[in-house]
Structure 1
Amino acid sequence: MTVTDISHRRKFLAQGNVYLPHIVIIEKIIDETPGVRTFHFNFKDEKLREEFSFESGQFGEYSVLGVGEAPFCISSSPTRRDHLEFALQRVGKVTNALHRLGVGAEIGFRGPYGNGVPLDLLQGKNLVFVGGGIGLAPLRSLIWNVIDNRDKYENIDIIYGARSPSDLCFKYDLDAWNKDKTVNMVTTVDKGDENWTGRVGFVPQVLEQAAPSAP
């Protein structure tokens, strides 16, 4: 994060009451699996759209009026600024309320919070990303950040798994990473189906087989 980014972030957080959420508008909804959705959103205030900045690894607090608030990572990359994204699994009161919303709905957002990943310390190194199911959500911000700055890093390996093919999230990302010749992408499922032609096995087992050796 540059000095300018830090300045913008401090200015953003200092505006008004930090406990008062900003209004954001849901612009797109993607059904990843039967219980997981990705939401594309943007600030209603045009000025906030321009000033907002965050780091891969940070999260926000998302709220539905009259229901409550819950934290979720920002799953989009700071290198792609046309919108922001978060993904969630339907498991409780707030997540069920969010799943009932449609495009154009307004919700509250506070953030960014938490520490971002220190990418400057990873430059020039081999990177291995390991995730499963909805756990890919926080990783994809970092993965796209690294890919969009590809010349700063060495080998990139991604190992991702889910219980079944229907439980794989972000299939459009998996396809893109598979096609990227500068990335080694490995996808596995615990149990395949009649249409599955990829790897079958638990992520830890596949990790032992597919992960590169330490230098």
Structure 2
Amino acid sequence: MSCTCHEKDPLVPQVAKLEFVRIDTEDVTTFRIISKEGKRPFDFKPGQCAMISIPMIGEAIFSITSSPTEGDYIECSIKKCGVVTDYLHTLEAGDEIGVRGPYGNSFPVEEFKGKDILFIGGGIGLAPLRSVINYVMDKRDEFGLVDIVYGARTSRDLVHPKDIYEVWPNSKDTNVYLTIDKKEEGWTRNVGFVPTYVKELNFSTDKIVLVCGPPIMIKYVLQGLEEIGFKKEQVYTTLELKMKCGFGKCGRCNIGDKYVCKDGPVFRCDEITELPDEY
């Protein structure tokens, strides 16, 4: 398939290959994707998504986990939860896939410059936030204080362990707060749900907030933020798991008066009147 054909028709995937495959947790794997020429398949901004396809199996849309400031590739951290993702988890470095994109809008990182940022993630919800976090880390002097609150059911479910334990905590003016749902042997950090932990940390309310995770987590995080004085205009979320076709044509991404594929997946929280109960 020629590159010219791909450029003319955004619905036609280009053939790409996996540069490497890294197992993060029992059910989450990170895939580094490059073109057949060994380059980034397409340019993107933090928060945008890629459609990955497997011939005779299907296709699905995923948030891009890497930052555009990183190498000549894209990365996607994918949770095993269906036909396409199950198959992806059987692939190895060197295998070919189809990829197209980017899809959706992005986080308005230019508007965040000079401001303190609070990132709040739950489970695989760290994946789309990681793109923005690493963008900020690579342009560290352009942003203020960074706080990262991240939680999962168990310590084994925390994705991107190198980032959360080594890279981000050792970055300039960056704090990382980790929590798991239930107490377990050897865990010396916080125990409890993310929304409760955020309220306990009692952050100053002069920050920009980016939040992503399970719908129920987002719902209670937003409630907690409002209780401690944050306004909806300060808070951004991404609903990329609600995206389907990427163009807003199938109608399956509808939330209230918004179509996630066309209007999102990134929303400022005063822009949406309701959140999905589940994906």
- Per the normalisation by structure 1, the TM-score is 0.89
Residue 71 (str. 1) matches residue 61 (str. 2): yes
Question: Who is 1:148 aligned against?
Answer: 138
Q: Is the 8 A contact 2:6 2:14 kept in 1?
A: no
SS where residue 204 of structure 2 aligns?
A: coil
Identical amino acids, percent of aligned pairs: 41
| 1:163-202 paired onto structure 2 within 5 Å | 163-175=153-165, 176-202=167-193
1:152 shift after superposition: 1.1
- Determine the C-alpha separation between the residues in 2 that align with 1:119 and 1:211: 24
SS where residue 15 of structure 1 aligns?
A: helix
Cα pair distance change 1:27/1:89, threshold 3 Å: same
SS where residue 39 of structure 1 aligns?
A: strand
1:149 shift after superposition: 0.8
Question: Who is 1:118 aligned against?
Answer: 108
Q: Is the 8 A contact 1:157 1:211 kept in 2?
A: no
Q: Is the 8 A contact 2:32 2:75 kept in 1?
A: yes
Q: Is the 8 A contact 2:34 2:40 kept in 1?
A: no
| 1:32-111 paired onto structure 2 within 5 Å | 32-46=24-38, 49=39, 52-111=42-101
SS where residue 31 of structure 2 aligns?
A: strand
Cα pair distance change 1:103/1:110, threshold 3 Å: same
Cα pair distance change 1:45/1:29, threshold 3 Å: same
1:68 shift after superposition: 0.5
SS where residue 22 of structure 2 aligns?
A: strand
Count of residue pairs brought into register by the alignment: 203
SS where residue 188 of structure 1 aligns?
A: strand
Residue 16 (str. 1) matches residue 17 (str. 2): no
User: Can you give the 5+ residue segments of structure 1 that lack an aligned partner in the other structure?
Assistant: 1-10
Deviations 1:43-87 (A, max 9, x none): 1135xx268311000001000111000000110000002321001
1:211 shift after superposition: 4.5
Question: Who is 2:20 aligned against?
Answer: 28
User: Structure 1 runs of 4+ off > 2 angstroms?
Assistant: 11-14, 49-52
Question: What code does the residue aligned with 1:127 have?
Answer: I
Cα pair distance change 1:110/1:51, threshold 3 Å: closer
Q: Which moved more, 1:192-201 or 1:156-165?
A: 192-201
- Determine the C-alpha separation between the residues in 2 that align with 1:156 and 1:211: 15
User: Can you give the 5+ residue segments of structure 2 that lack an aligned partner in the other structure?
Assistant: 207-279
- Per the normalisation by structure 2, the TM-score is 0.69
SS where residue 8 of structure 2 aligns?
A: coil
Question: What code does the residue aligned with 1:206 have?
Answer: Y
